[in-house]
């Protein structure tokens, strides 16, 4: 004889119990975040932004995930938890390039930094980065460097004077969308996050450098030069800046500016500018439409 089926009322009671346990853990998590905040120094949110650590958390959860609950929804929940934890510890705001009437980069920022994060729109990438540099914002969200891009914000960043003393310089710390998938107005867009927060190693990273050379064609064989040094180029963008040529390269791995392979690849032909880097994005399942 088959046992009686569990009643709908009992299933709902079990769900309520699970919800209470989840809620208790979220509140406990917030208490621990407060303890972490007291244990470390930070300034206007820069010390609490941990791109590498956040990437490790999400990758670990995705790797252990099982069952029918969508991975994209799991990541969304934890992105909100992490964003709330950042706001709990220190001031946070995002400055976002938002060309009217296109809200795409705004949506990428909202997906990354949570529903309650203060976001301020700027009409140029340079203005957004200036807000992050001054401390008005913690991060700037600007277009991914590309050959066809109208804005050369990365050129100004590379050629800016080196800050005096220990003053940090703006650099790239994230690639958006980090989950590899975005919907709505941001679908198909790619952006980077610029901040005074230093790049942090996550275990699977890319590093970004700009080479200043005598002419734009000075690094025409850039891929081959880096491959000869055991470095893989994922992206390159070229610009002319007056009499100089600039080559932006995105390399596999977490690579320091003093790595001798960089100078060897450039052949000693120009100055090197580090622009940070980012944890490699990972792909989540796209939500399926109802059939």
What's the average pLDDT block by block, 10 residues per block, for the chain (291 residues)?
A: 77 97 97 86 64 94 94 92 92 92 88 93 95 95 84 87 80 91 77 93 95 63 85 88 81 92 77 91 62 36
Give the per-residue pLDDT at 27. 97
Give the per-residue pLDDT at 151. 76
Closest to 146 (Cα-Cα) out of 107, 188, 183, 113: 188
CB 120 within 8 A of CB 93: yes
205-213 and 171-176 strand pairing: unpaired
Supply the Cα-derived Rg of the chain in whole angstroms.
Answer: 22
Give the per-residue pLDDT at 269. 58
Give the per-residue pLDDT at 65. 94
Rounded alpha-carbon distances, angstroms, from residue 70 to 74, 144, 286, 288, 290? 6, 28, 9, 10, 14
Provide the 3-class DSSP secondary structure of residue 2: coil
CATH of the structural domain 206-278, one choice from 3.30.2130.10, 1.20.120.550, 3.30.70.260, 3.50.50.60? 3.30.70.260
Strand partners, 235: 250
* Domain extent listing, the chain: 206-278
- Say how many CA atoms lie within 13 Å of 262 toward its Cβ: 24
Taking the whole predicted model, whether its pTM rises above 0.75 is answered as yes
Could you tell me the two tokens for 226?
Answer: 């880096």
Distance, in Å, from the CA atom of 163 to the CA atom of 174, rounded to the nearest integer, reads 22
Give the per-residue pLDDT at 43. 47
CB 196 within 8 A of CB 173: no
């Amino acid at each position: 004889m088959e046992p009686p089926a569990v009643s709908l009322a009992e299933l709902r009671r079990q769900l309520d119990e699970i919800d209470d346990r989840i809620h208790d853990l979220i509140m406990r998590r917030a208490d621990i975040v407060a303890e972490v905040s007291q244990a470390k120094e930070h300034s206007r949110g820069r010390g609490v932004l941990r791109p590498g650590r956040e990437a490790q958390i999400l990758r670990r959860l995705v790797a252990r995930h099982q069952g029918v609950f969508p991975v994209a929804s799991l990541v969304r929940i934890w992105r909100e938890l992490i964003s709330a934890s950042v706001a709990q510890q220190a001031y946070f705001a995002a400055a976002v390039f938002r060309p009217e009437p296109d809200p795409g980069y705004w949506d990428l920022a909202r997906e990354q930094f949570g529903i309650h994060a203060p976001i301020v729109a700027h009409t140029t990438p340079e203005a957004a980065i200036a807000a992050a540099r001054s401390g008005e914002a913690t991060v700037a969200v600007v277009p991914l460097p590309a050959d066809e891009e109208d804005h050369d914000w990365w050129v100004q960043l590379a050629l800016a004077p080196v800050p005096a003393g220990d003053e940090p310089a703006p650099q790239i710390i994230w690639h958006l969308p980090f989950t590899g998938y975005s919907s709505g107005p941001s679908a198909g867009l790619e952006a980077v996050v610029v901040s005074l927060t230093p790049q942090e190693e996550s275990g699977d990273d890319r590093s970004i450098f700009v080479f200043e050379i005598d002419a734009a064609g000075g690094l025409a064989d850039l891929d081959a030069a880096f491959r000869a040094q055991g470095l893989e180029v994922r992206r390159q963008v070229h610009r002319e800046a007056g009499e100089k040529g600039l080559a932006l390269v995105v390399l596999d791995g977490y690579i320091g500016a003093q790595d001798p392979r960089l100078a060897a690849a450039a052949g000693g032909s120009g100055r090197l500018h580090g622009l940070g880097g980012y944890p490699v994005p990972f792909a989540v399942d796209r939500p399926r439409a109802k059939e």
